């Protein structure tokens, strides 16, 4: 649920900060809204030519795709994917297992960070090895 909100906020930010993309999406949504709501599935008569609903949608798409490409919609899509991945990954890395298992007092519920620190800490079984002494040659 929270990740959907992160993605929606990033999409909103991307659309609001790119005015040409906002105009292209408005034309796309406005054209589809006009065809769906105001024409109610009826064909549109323009001069002597009559356009069916499918032809109307095709015209809206044919006008919108070049505008979206000109507005940089593909780079915006990849920016949203990358930013979402980064934010979600950052949250996953900082997430502590102790927050989830607070009712369990077992030592097996230690977080990844504390397990990593235990791995890096010198062990009492290896107390005979001194790190600052040079190796012995035979």
| Greater pLDDT, 82 or 125 | 82
Distance, in Å, from the CA atom of 119 to the CA atom of 124, rounded to the nearest integer, reads 12
| pTM strictly above 0.75 | no
- Residue 123: the pLDDT is 55
Give yes or no for residue 20 having a pLDDT over 90: yes
What pLDDT digit, counting tens, does each position of 95-132 carry?
865 555 555 544 444 555 565 565 566 555 554 555 56
């Amino acid at each position: 649920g929270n990740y959907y909100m992160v993605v929606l906020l990033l999409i909103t930010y991307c659309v609001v900060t790119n005015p040409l993309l906002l105009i292209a999406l408005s034309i796309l949504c406005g054209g589809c809204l006009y065809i769906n709501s105001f024409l109610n599935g009826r064909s549109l008569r323009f001069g002597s030519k009559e356009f069916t609903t499918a032809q109307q949608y095709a015209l809206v798409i044919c006008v919108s795709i070049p505008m979206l490409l000109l507005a940089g919609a593909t780079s915006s899509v990849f920016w949203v994917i990358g930013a979402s991945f980064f934010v979600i990954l950052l949250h996953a890395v900082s997430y502590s297992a102790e927050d989830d298992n607070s009712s369990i007092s077992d030592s097996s519920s230690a977080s990844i960070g504390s397990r990593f620190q235990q791995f890096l800490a010198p062990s009492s079984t290896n107390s005979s090895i001194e790190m600052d002494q040079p190796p012995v040659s035979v």
